[in-house]
């Protein structure tokens, strides 16, 4: 039994190591997403000044092409497409809120 417990502990330790790596990536992704939202807010201000709509399907297609070119795996490509669908929806919403003054970009 002790050998089995050691193997089990090794698996748990490995699981925690992988989770720690994902936690670090999540912190990086969150920081980058916050930066992306700030940039989207700036883009919203420029669009307002030049009379452009928030929704720009051609630009969104460019974003998908750029992102999906980062992987050769069909499974990862599908996952990235779903993830970026959500990111673009939130970015559009954020831009709309910035445009109408509902969004305060300054930290609390």
Q: How confident is the model over 55-98, as pLDDT tens digits?
A: 999 999 999 999 999 999 999 999 999 999 999 999 999 999 98
Residue 72 CA from chain centroid, whole number = 19
- Looking at the domain 2-99, which fold is it? Chorismate Mutase Domain, subunit A (1.20.59)
Share of residues in the chain with pLDDT > 70 (%): 90
Q: What pLDDT does residue 2 have?
A: 58
Confidence of residue 105 (pLDDT cuts 50, 70, 90): low
**Domain assignments of the chain as residue spans, ordered by start:** 2-99
Task: Collect all residues with Cβ–Cβ distance below 8 Å to 45 and sequence separation of at least 6.
Answer: 98
Average pLDDT estimate for 46-58: 92
pTM of the model: 0.81
């Amino acid at each position: 039994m002790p050998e089995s417990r050691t193997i089990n502990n090794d698996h748990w330790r490995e699981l925690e190591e992988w989770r720690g790596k994902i936690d670090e990536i999540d912190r990086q992704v969150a920081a980058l997403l916050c930066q992306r939202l700030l940039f989207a807010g700036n883009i919203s201000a420029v669009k307002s000044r030049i009379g452009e709509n928030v929704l720009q399907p051609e630009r969104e297609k460019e974003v998908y092409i750029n992102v999906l070119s980062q992987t050769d795996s069909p499974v990862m490509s599908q996952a990235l497409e779903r993830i970026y669908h959500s990111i673009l929806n939130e970015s559009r919403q954020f831009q709309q809120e910035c445009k109408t003054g509902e969004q305060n970009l300054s930290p609390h």
